[in-house]
Amino acid sequence: ANVVRVSKRIEEVLKQGRRRIPKDYIQDWRGAEGFIDFQSDQLAGTVLVDKSVASTMQVLPTNGNLNMEYIKHKISQAFNYRESKIPHIISDSTQSFRLVNGLFDGLPGLSVDMYANYAMIQINSRYWRDYTRKIANYLLKFLDRCIGVYLTENIKKDTVFRQYLEEEYEAYKKNNMHLKKPKRKFKIKKSECVAGKKAENNTIIAREGDYKYHIQFDNGSGTGLYLDQRENRLNLKELLKNKKNGSFLNTFSYTSSFGVVAASEGYHTVNVDESENCLAKSKQNYKLNNLDTNAHKFWKKDVFQALKVFGQDRKKFDVVLLDPPTVSRVTIKNNENYKPVKDTFTTKKNYSELVRLAADLVVPDGYLITFSNTLSFKPYEFESQINEGFESAMQDKIKIIGERKYLAERKKLRLDKIARKTRYNLLKFYDFEPPYEEVKNSLDYHLTNEWGLPEDFATLENDEEGRYLKGKVWKKPSHKEVYSVRKLEKPKENIYN
């Protein structure tokens, strides 16, 4: 393969030890894509250039030659690293963990997850396709526990069209036409077994600590268990030990792995998700862990709508967990006729709205757990959105409490039966000033913990972008920390005269 000499500005980036090259340096590769061997006066390596990937340029420390020997060496290194960090998981063939984590392990755009005796290879760049079958066969030989290997591709649709229909794409391109979906239909498998023994019905049962989960291999990367949350599920278990027989609200519940942990700790759980299929799998996971599904709630509902219903019903929970996807279609607001309207939810724009609806659902001394898995959502932006949501929740509560007190006094004094002028004079004797201090203190959440990725999802020290999973645990003030409600003064004795 031809070796490319890098520009001076790219060389400066590489000297800093960074393996993600900024997008605006893309022109330095003169339109080339794929695995490109490069060299400079002091450095040599390989860079993966793929415009369809969020991190367009990522460096592999190959010394200028990418081959299977390099890949095997990196997989072996990755295994040794995890064996030193999580030996109790590596030694148990029923447990699940990440074996290869892309850029950190010198294989950007590629990851390998272990679910009990099966490996799942994931690629997000089409340039890995020439290597995947060889990697799968190597995993079977290298790992004693491995009996089968599945492959899934997280590649954009337009990239798939170009890869499989190159001729049609070139024809459109020559005629100065944009890429269109071809008339002939074809189906691309979400995932398939590429080496070893295929799992029965493409489903197995894998463990995570003391818990069991159904794993589905024929649904792409959506296996039913996100391994990057493994450590946080254990953190949740420790958090819930402080109080038994509480209530737990699990929003965007997916297959309810967090719900399983909470239910196992004696909590009554409410799992909310808009997917009926996910809720069916949630019930399977509960039954797998000997949990009575009738003692818990599985609600097929838009999460934003569900939070509004809980607010209207003054429902309270000991722990509320928010773990939304990066993008989803939800009912964020109503239209002019007060009918719910579907809109696109993104964590970067709408997370504050989610916090606003959830903040007052937590009991005093309870917890609000907030997660974001958006790669481009910086930690300070995430915290800013959360604080904005707390502030909006305070304003909402001030308005609600004021209205409730006003209506309570009207009902008590039967003001509806009194003339309007008399009613106006009567209300002047009452202080309906909103209880600012009371509300402020009741929603004055304090950050108690920050959760993130487990050790098998390790990232490079200067790779902030790779630490995509951000978790913050907020504690609500107890009753003792909140100002008591100020009672309304009694009316003067001569008020009816």
Q: Rounded to the nearest 5°, which phi and psi values hold at 480?
A: -65, -25
Instruction: Find, among 149, 146, 152, the residue nearest to 219 by Cα.
Output: 152
Alpha helices in 16-61 (DSSP H): none
Higher-confidence position of 94 and 40: 94
For residue 218, what are its two tokens?
């024929």
Distance CA 112, CA 182 (A): 33
pLDDT band at 483 (very low <50, low <70, confident <90, very high): very low
pLDDT at position 421, please? Answer: 52
pLDDT over 50 at 338, yes or no = no
- For residues 28, 30, 31, 36, the Cα torsion angle rounded to the nearest 10 degrees is -80
| Residue 37, beta-bridge partner list | 3, 46
* β strands within 11-103, DSSP E: 20-21, 34-39, 44-49, 57-60, 96-101
pLDDT tens track for 440-471? 667 889 999 999 999 999 999 888 888 999 99
Give the percent of the chain with pLDDT over 70.
Answer: 78
What's the mean per-residue pLDDT of the chain? 83
Distance CA 148, CA 136 (A): 8
For residue 2, what are its two tokens?
């031809």
Distance CA 282, CA 255 (A): 4
pLDDT over 70 at 157, yes or no = no
Alpha helices in 60-128 (DSSP H): 68-85, 87-90
pLDDT tens track for 342-374? 677 788 889 999 999 999 999 999 999 999 998
Lowest mean pLDDT across 93-107, 333-347, 415-429 = 415-429
Specify which of 45-54, 277-286, 388-397 reaches the highest per-range mean pLDDT. 277-286
pLDDT tens track for 240-273? 987 778 999 999 999 999 999 999 999 999 999 9
For every residue of 256-268, DSSP letters joined together read -HHHHHHHHTT-E
pLDDT over 70 at 171, yes or no = no
pLDDT at position 127, please? Answer: 93
The backbone region for 221, taken as left when phi is positive above 0, alpha when psi lies in -120 to 50, beta otherwise, is alpha
Instruction: Find, among 428, 411, 440, 398, the residue nearest to 495 by Cα.
Output: 428
Q: Rounded to the nearest 5°, which phi and psi values hold at 392?
A: -65, -40
Higher-confidence position of 171 and 62: 62
Q: What's this model's pTM, rounded to 2 decimal places?
A: 0.84
Distance CA 111, CA 496 (A): 78
Distance CA 28, CA 390 (A): 45
| Residue 257, beta-bridge partner list | none
Distance CA 445, CA 476 (A): 5
- The enclosing H or E element of 480 equals none
